[in-house]
Amino acid sequence: MYQETDRHRLFTRRALVLGAGQLGMFGLLVGRLWQLQVGEGEKYALLAEDNRVNTKLIVPARGRILDRRGRPLARNVPAYRVRVVRERTPDLGRTLRALADLVPISPRRLEEVEEQAHNLRPFVPVPIRDDLSWEEVARIAVHAPELPGILLDQALLRDYPYGPVLAHVLGYVGPVNDRELQADRDPLLSLPEFRIGKKGIEKSYDKRLRGRAGLSKVEVNALGREIRELDRDEGDPGEDLQISLDLDLQRFCFDRLAQEKAAAAAVLDVQTGAVLASVSIPSFDPRPFANGLSSAAWKELSHDPLFPLVNKCIRGQYPPGSTFKMMTALAALEKGVIDPGHEVFCSGVFTLGNARFHCWKAGGHGRLALVQGIAQSCDIYFYDVALRVGVDAIAAMARRFGLGDRLGVDLPGERPGLIPTRAWKRERLGQPWQKGETVVTGIGQGFVLATPLQLAVMTARLCNGLKMVRPWYVRPVGADGQPEEWPRIELPRDGLRAVLRGMYEVVNGARGTARRAKLPLEGIALAGKTGTSQVKRITRAERASGAHKRKDRPWEERDHALFVCFAPFDAPRYAVAVVVEHGGSGSRAAAPVARDIMTRTLEINPAGAALLAARDLPPKG
């Protein structure tokens, strides 16, 4: 009986322990279920949703680029594209080759598509071409049964309706490379169809033009295949950008300069700094760059000796020649080493020690003062003035007028030119400065280099009341949202008036070097300065024989021709700079081009039309 009671107690105790354990386990299970379903329910619901729903970025429409009158210069146009889905074709390579028999696709592009298709999931469409014509679309559609896995659809393609006319200013867009992907963490750049600004305005203002990405939520299965779209946000298109160029003037300048082998021209509003036209010859068509230029096409453009890819307005660096003489004169006038009445006798030769420096006019100009020294572009006059004032003073003056440093224009790739000083030569070449180098610097030769845009800015600052305007394509504004105010250059007014008068006499004087540049507009006078810069040193024998003036010299050995000008003389509004590479004489090759450009500028721009109306001249549309 006693043993039976003990066994019963032991069994009861064990049953209670086991029951308590089971109850505890059940409590833990209930608690965990409550935590998962109530406490963390939202978290796991989101994770489940992420497994079921994928979010994709949608490329927004790129903003347009408009001219000063609102006309589109760069836009987006609907285009047909062809893509391939690897899982839908039994033989990807064979399908791609069959497609290439119908529409032009390079062998390299076929290799890239095949490699990309094998790196992605088999159901992901891979782009092949984005610029199909309607005839090519029809050809593919007719042969669709023979092209398993090939898809046709529509996309937006960047278009430049005026092609080479604006290529150097607008630039172009192209596929994103690895360096750009590392530098910019915007998720848009990871999309194969996204295009980024590579050159010009497209690059400078890329983030304003690209817009905000849209989002598409799609339901997918366990393998990641899309089932249906659940929600869609198209995002925001890029900002439309209005630039300073006038399309009509740009086209006129391009057509006028296209008659030359290589040239550049810039037109500025001297009061605001707006670039109204900017042309570089030869040019290129920016449209093929959108889908990546073929290696053969790139090699042809990049190895062209005339450098069609280079924007010569901001990257071409040329000796300014006699267009620089106003800087030498102003430096001497400010230092007080000459006054406007300072006279020099030009015999045609200037001697410095054992060296002989020649004037462009073999017989010399005789005795002349500053105004006629500029009007007749007498080299001897400016040799004398340069030695009196010194190279460092000349350099300081030139820099105040925008030479020798980047202007900060809102295009990528601007080059600074070069204005030498004593310190520069010692630092760069480890040599002392020589007096003979001061002589040639005074006429814009030697080490001196300037871009066409810099020469246009120099001219604008000379004639606009000495306002230090800077060139721009998109209007700069200050912190208060107002247009930028330009500081002024302080100079003796009598000296400046003499320099400007000399530029007037260049075109309108009886002995001016650019009399053929007179405007065909009654009552409006043009003022300017010719320049002819040597690219090959003239030997004594060549000078004696006259070989340096022969027109049958190789093109690349001929002098550069330059001309800078402004108008109207009595109320300056526009400045023009023209450089014709190896064009010979500035008066013959560059001045007539600048005259025609200035005439057209006055005829078609509102401010110019108002000036013509004030003189009772009919404006032209």
Catalytic residue among 322, 377, 533, 585: 322
Q: What is the 3-state secondary structure (H, E, C) of 326-378?
A: HHHHHHHHHHCCCCCCCCEEECCEEEECCEEEECCCCCCCEEECHHHHHHCCC
Using DSSP bridges, classify how beta strands 241-242 and 65-66 pair: parallel, antiparallel or unpaired. Answer: parallel
Q: Which helix (DSSP H) or strand (DSSP E) does residue 312 occupy?
A: helix 312-315
Q: By the 8 A CB rule, do 560 and 590 touch?
A: no
Which runs of E-coded beta strand occur in 60-149?
A: 65-66, 72-84, 126-132
Terminal CA-CA length for the chain: 129
Q: Which helix (DSSP H) or strand (DSSP E) does residue 152 occupy?
A: strand 150-159
Return left, alpha or beta for 600; rule: phi > 0 is left, psi -120 to 50 is alpha, else beta: alpha
Neighbours of 229 (CB within 10 A): 11
Active site residue 322: yes
Task: Say how far residue 527 (Cα) sits from the centre of its chain.
Answer: 29
Neighbours of 85 (CB within 10 A): 18
Nearest to 266, CA basis, from 255, 256, 280, 252: 280
DSSP class per residue in 198-248? -SHHHHHTHHHHH-B-EEEEEEE-TT--EEEEEEEE--BPPPPEE-S--HH
DSSP class per residue in 316-328? --B--GGGGHHHH
Angle at 163 between CA 158 and CA 169, to 5 degrees: 85
User: Would you name the residues annotated as active-site residues?
Assistant: 322
